[in-house]
Amino acid sequence: MSETTVTTDQPITLGEQEVAPGFIGQNVPRKEDRRLVQGEGVFVDDVKRHGMAYVHFARSPYAHAAIARIDVSRALELEGVYGTLIGEEVAAETDAFFQIAPPPGGDLKDYALAVGRVRHVGEPVVAVAAATRELARDAAELVEVDYEPLEPVLDPESAAAPDMPQLHDEVPSNTIWQGNFDYGDYDAALAEADKVVRIKRLHFHRFSSTPLETSGAVVEYNRGTGQWTIHSNNQFPGFAIIMMAPALRVGMDKLRFVSQDIGGGFGNKICTHVQLVAMCLLARKLRRAVNWTEWRTDQHTANSHGNERVFLDVEVPVKADGTLLGFKARMIDDCGAYTRYEPLGCIIWAQVTPGCYRWRHVRVDFSQVCTNKSPCGPNRGYSRMQHLWFTERIIDIVAHELRVDPVEIRKRNYIRADEMPYETPNGCVYDSGDYARCLDEALALIEYDGIEAKRRDAESRGRLLGVGIGSTLDSGTNNFGQATLVNPELQFSGNNEVATVKLDIFGEIVVTLGTTPQGQSHETTAAQVVADILQVSPDDVNVRAGHDSYWNSHAGFSGTYASQFAVTGLGAVKGATETLAGQIKQIGAAILGADSPDDVELGGGFVKRKDNPEAALPFMACGAIVNANNAVLPLELRELTLNCRYVYVPPHQMPDQERKYGNLTLTYATQIHACVVEVDPETGVYEIVDYGAVDDCGVRINPQIVEGQVQGATAQAIGAATHETFVYDEDGNLLTPNFYDYHVPHALDMPPLKTAYIESPSPFTPLGAKGMGEGGGAGLSAVASALQDALRGSGRPIVSDSSNPYNTVWELLRNPEESRQLVEVEDR
């Protein structure tokens, strides 16, 4: 257990009126660190079992091809090869995965291995299991597959065209889902406008957070009970079990998910249920434990990419004073070859429909197509990031075209602090926040007041200086009822998370979480909450590391995803601990002869009489009495267990399916970023010379941990804006399948990063905290914004892509007219 050196000096609110000094709000050192800095964590590839087989997937070299023949005989001849698994076996022994989309998109068949056809480069075709990693790889090379190549579909904008080949026989026009969203009165807004800004096309590129630990699993099958134990780094076991159990034709309890430490997830480890089913089949077939550790190249080519999205025919009605009235757009989302979490991305953007702005009239035609590229799935900022980048691009392009100050136009149009809680045009309720104040803070961080002098200084050095702003929201604790807006037949809604807190025989406080943390410090923050309620130190609280679905601290939505632990996870911890505290008081009152539990209090590991603190019972005695000495207890107290399970359920309602209307998430944390770039006009090479990030996630349970999340999210956004991109060639080969070609930020790439905070407590959550950590991708907007500002004296090009490597900037400098063709302004 780690040492805690902080003292209790910040008041917290307990229950209704009680106030006590607490650990919430303190930089309590992380409980996780002691094992992790010594290399004593247990990540999935650290798990070993006797006689374990290592699995390697033989993968498709084609983007689109029919499988004519598979021959594994040469692989099986190799000494030390235990066996193989092919698509035919998978199709016979499992059912295709449940689909979220309604028909016809939802009719597509997705199995653990390719069945009859491959639909992207890197798609697993045959699994080979052998005594060593190296041997499994050798054997996979001996697998013979005859392919009959088909024409690939790679461009989302033409994927639905009538002459395009079809990826899935069941899905006409390669269209997974289409829906219209109409809020306010867009036609009236257009009629009222003094100017209309039209943008032909904006593009949000493909990338992913590429966690440093690749996906993996060690799967064991118990033949006697028919149970699988799945040691994995899957970050959303609740979802994985729902997907896997029907596919494997077993009850949910036959799938036990276990993890301790996970090496980053960022959403990319949600959809591993596909490979996990192949592992389950192999473990059963081979009668031995199987290990699968994904190669880096495989993670890039065939794991889970962030969604690519195109925004077409964008129309923005604006008043003469710079008030924006709304927007209209046609959006095409590319989900890759299969729908694994999709088409949820088709609705999740709507959590932040107006972004940070007060415009009320929105008309969106949203469709999602499949293409012969890696399947997409959640990726830090999932679906909202794409949409928020779109709204920020609108703001900057309108400001640029109407020659309005980008700071002023934001302040004029931001939702105001005194309007909170604010109901958006589609019925979401922004809980709290002060965007204008955050912007002022961000501008102060980059010393915006002196920016013109810096601009001149840069010019004197032959550099173009630009300032950009990114205003985003990190919506958290989502209402799964939004899934019914893409498919009314789905039986999903609300959300939940579980924790158990118990007091053991020797007085040990043990906390069990339902979550699967990947660096979010759940052990530490949970201990802070427990410590405050039980009036002990976080050192006295033992939070079990990791996740085990057999711990009974698990619910349908258990996992770590979508910015919610501070609300759902800690809400559950708070609920369970308050129940435990109540039970300790009941026992204390009875043993100490007090009239009622209200006459005792907790402190220093004791329950004490308020009127006589000398009369005190140590927690250890309470634990011992209930667990091992309960004949001394009055009969009416014998139902107390000191083992308290609590399920936190947020107050969500079913959204209106007809109008696609309702509150889709409980909290909305704010990120306002400001970025300063200097561009070399000769080459397009640029440097981020200053960067300020302001975050407002309500009450911060542990400010140091919050800051770490802000820094990390910013680094990922800057990486995505500047270098990271999944590029495919015309045959559908991924050109960036490893860290050579897919350049993530290194220590030398990161600009100086300044952070600041305001706290607008959420009125809707147990601790006033909001989910945070995804960060909304504000950096993507800020970099695009800064580049457009820097280039305004060089032909006024329009930044229309979220990916802006140096060569793109050079193209904008070389031919600004081409990008200018994307925009036109109609004066009324």
Q: Which residue has the tokens 């598979």?
A: 70
Q: Which of 263, 468, 559, 768 binds another protein (CB under 8 A)?
A: 263
Assign residue 25 a region: left if phi > 0, alpha if psi is -120 to 50, beta otherwise?
A: left
For residues 372 and 351, give the distance between their C-alpha atoms in angstroms, rounded to a whole number: 28
- Residue 32 near another protein by CB under 8 A: yes
* Residues between 195 and 234 with contacts to another protein, criterion CB under 8 A: 209-214
Q: Phi then psi for 530, rounded to 5 degrees? A: -60, -45
Cβ nearer to another protein, comparing 68 with 212: 212
3-state secondary structure 339-376: ECCCCCHHHHHHHHCCCCECCCEEEEEEEEECCCCCCE
To the nearest whole angstrom, how small is the minimum distance from the Cβ of residue 279 to another protein?
19
Which tokens go with 494?
A: 């609300």
Residue 398 contacts residue 404 (beta carbons within 8 Å): yes
For residues 399 and 378, give the distance between their C-alpha atoms in angstroms, rounded to a whole number: 32
To the nearest whole angstrom, how small is the minimum distance from the Cβ of residue 747 to another protein?
4
Cβ nearer to another protein, comparing 45 with 441: 45
CA dihedral 163, 168, 169, 173 (to 10 degrees): -40
Cβ nearer to another protein, comparing 133 with 198: 133
- Residue 746 near another protein by CB under 8 A: yes
Q: Phi then psi for 337, rounded to 5 degrees? A: -80, -30
Cβ nearer to another protein, comparing 126 with 715: 715
Task: Lay out the sheet containing 823-827: strands in order across.
Answer: 175-183, 361-369, 326-334, 308-318, 195-204, 823-827
- Residue 539 near another protein by CB under 8 A: no
- Residue 750 near another protein by CB under 8 A: yes
Q: Phi then psi for 607, rounded to 5 degrees? A: -105, 130
Q: Give the residue from 532, 740, 695, 440 showing the smallest Cα distance to 18.
A: 532
- Residue 260 near another protein by CB under 8 A: no
For residues 290 to 319, the per-residue mask of contacts with another protein, x marking binding by CB under 8 A and - elsewhere, is ---x-xxx----------------------
To the nearest whole angstrom, how small is the minimum distance from the Cβ of residue 694 to another protein?
16
CA dihedral 358, 360, 361, 366 (to 10 degrees): 80
Q: Which residue has the tokens 């926040």?
A: 433
Q: Which of 97, 257, 266, 810 binds another protein (CB under 8 A)?
A: 266
Cβ nearer to another protein, comparing 299 with 372: 299
Contacting range for another protein; rule: CB under 8 A; set: 9-17, 40-48, 406-414, 462-470: 40-48
To the nearest whole angstrom, how small is the minimum distance from the Cβ of residue 30 to another protein?
6
Q: Give the residue from 744, 756, 743, 757 showing the smallest Cα distance to 715.
A: 744
Cβ nearer to another protein, comparing 98 with 739: 739
Q: Give the residue from 562, 569, 520 showing the smallest Cα distance to 708.
A: 520
DSSP string, 363-411: EEEEEEE--SSPPB---TTTTHHHHHHHHHHHHHHHHHHHT--HHHHHH
To the nearest whole angstrom, how small is the minimum distance from the Cβ of residue 814 to another protein?
31
- Residue 173 near another protein by CB under 8 A: no
For residues 499 and 568, give the distance between their C-alpha atoms in angstroms, rounded to a whole number: 10
For residues 498 and 515, give the distance between their C-alpha atoms in angstroms, rounded to a whole number: 8
Cβ nearer to another protein, comparing 8 with 704: 704
What is the DSSP-derived secondary structure letter of residue 324? B
- CA dihedral for 164, 166, 171, 177, sign (positive or negative): negative
To the nearest whole angstrom, how small is the minimum distance from the Cβ of residue 691 to another protein?
10
Quick one: how many helices (H) and strands (E) in the chain?
20, 32
For residues 698 to 737, the per-residue mask of contacts with another protein, x marking binding by CB under 8 A and - elsewhere, is ------xx-xxx-xx-xxx---------------------
To the nearest whole angstrom, how small is the minimum distance from the Cβ of residue 574 to another protein?
23
* Residues between 772 and 791 with contacts to another protein, criterion CB under 8 A: none
Q: Which of 521, 560, 722, 819 binds another protein (CB under 8 A)?
A: 521
Cβ nearer to another protein, comparing 202 with 445: 445
* Residues between 65 and 94 with contacts to another protein, criterion CB under 8 A: none
CA dihedral 486, 489, 495, 496 (to 10 degrees): -150
Q: Which of 38, 225, 460, 491 binds another protein (CB under 8 A)?
A: 38
Amino acid letter, 665: T
Instruction: Count the site residues for another protein by CB under 8 A.
Output: 58
- Residue 33 near another protein by CB under 8 A: yes
Q: Which of 753, 783, 799, 823 binds another protein (CB under 8 A)?
A: 753
Contacting range for another protein; rule: CB under 8 A; set: 89-97, 122-130, 261-269, 553-561: 261-269
For residues 133 to 172, the per-residue mask of contacts with another protein, x marking binding by CB under 8 A and - elsewhere, is xx--------------------------------------
Q: Which of 7, 18, 40, 149 binds another protein (CB under 8 A)?
A: 40
Residue 430 contacts residue 419 (beta carbons within 8 Å): no
To the nearest whole angstrom, how small is the minimum distance from the Cβ of residue 669 to another protein?
18
For residues 526 and 521, give the distance between their C-alpha atoms in angstroms, rounded to a whole number: 9
To the nearest whole angstrom, how small is the minimum distance from the Cβ of residue 55 to another protein?
15
- Residue 757 near another protein by CB under 8 A: no
* Cis peptide, bond prior to residue 11, ω within 30 of zero: no
Q: Which of 48, 50, 223, 403 binds another protein (CB under 8 A)?
A: 48
To the nearest whole angstrom, how small is the minimum distance from the Cβ of residue 387 to another protein?
24
Footprint of another protein on this chain (CB under 8 A)? 2, 29-30, 32-34, 36-43, 45-46, 48, 133-134, 209-214, 261-264, 266, 293, 295-297, 518-521, 704-705, 707-709, 711-712, 714-716, 738-740, 744-748, 750, 753
